């Protein structure tokens, strides 16, 4: 069985953090502005946002990067698991924010991810993803690279996300911010959903 593409170390993840510094600054600002005291991060990588919040738990499929994250943030909690299949019953109601940056485009579809995240009943759901600027409809793509298991690299137009969230009862309470990205690539978009009970 081929290993997942994501089994990298710090040399892979650290440049990505620097590349998207504006987005991470936005997340840190939200934590301060909304007085977020606890974050659950899906696809946490090195978990560097743990430094911005008193209580943090991150989950990632990659045991290598989780080991590094735990060394860097000894007071935080880290889990090696698959978000879409893990049991999250014990996490419901425990976190102010559920965060996922660069995750939904690698799921088979974004909606099961959002449904599970909203089921944790956070005050805020914050997701960043690459916006489909080339077409008016979603683009589902499976990538196959030598030596790795196939993985998704999807793109979604903003309208699809808005419509889907409305169907989940989250219409009219969202904030969008687009960040500059490399020339020739789709825009990086961050969505903040304020839960209806906030």
Place of tokens 């793509």: 141
Do the domain assignments include residue 44? yes
Q: What is the pLDDT of residues 86-103, one digit of tens each?
A: 999 999 999 999 998 878
**Rounded distance between C-alpha atoms, residue 170 and residue 150, angstroms:** 32
Segment 123-151 mean pLDDT? 66
What CATH number does the domain containing 156 carry?
Answer: 3.40.50.150
Do the domain assignments include residue 75? yes
Q: How far is CA 84 from the centre of its chain?
A: 12
DSSP assigned state of 120: T
- Stated pTM of the model: 0.80
Count of domains forming the chain: 1
Segment 174-196 mean pLDDT? 56
Q: What is the pLDDT of residues 19-69, one digit of tens each?
A: 667 778 888 988 998 899 999 999 998 898 999 999 999 999 888 889 999
Query: What's the mean pLDDT when you consider all of the chain?
Result: 77
Q: What local confidence, expressed as pLDDT, does residue 42 receive?
A: 94
> In which domain, by residue range, is 42 found?
10-194
């Amino acid at each position: 069985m081929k290993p997942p593409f994501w089994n990298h170390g710090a040399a892979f993840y650290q440049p990505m953090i620097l590349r998207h510094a504006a987005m991470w600054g936005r997340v840190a600002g939200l934590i301060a502005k909304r007085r977020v005291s606890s974050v659950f991060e899906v696809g946490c990588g090195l978990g560097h946002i743990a430094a911005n919040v008193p209580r943090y738990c991150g989950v990632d499929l990659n045991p290598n990067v989780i080991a590094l994250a735990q060394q860097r943030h000894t007071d935080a909690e880290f889990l090696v698991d698959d978000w879409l299949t893990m049991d999250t019953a014990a996490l419901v109601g425990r976190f102010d924010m559920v965060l996922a940056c660069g995750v939904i485009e690698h799921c088979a579809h974004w909606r099961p991810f959002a449904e599970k995240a909203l089921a944790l009943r956070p005050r805020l759901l914050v997701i960043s993803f690459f916006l489909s600027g080339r077409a008016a409809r979603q683009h589902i793509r499976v990538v196959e690279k030598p030596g790795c298991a196939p993985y998704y690299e999807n793109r979604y137009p903003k309208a699809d996300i808005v419509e889907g969230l409305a169907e989940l009862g989250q219409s009219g309470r969202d904030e969008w911010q687009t960040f500059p990205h490399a020339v020739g690539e789709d825009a990086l978009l961050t969505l903040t959903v304020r839960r209806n009970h906030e």
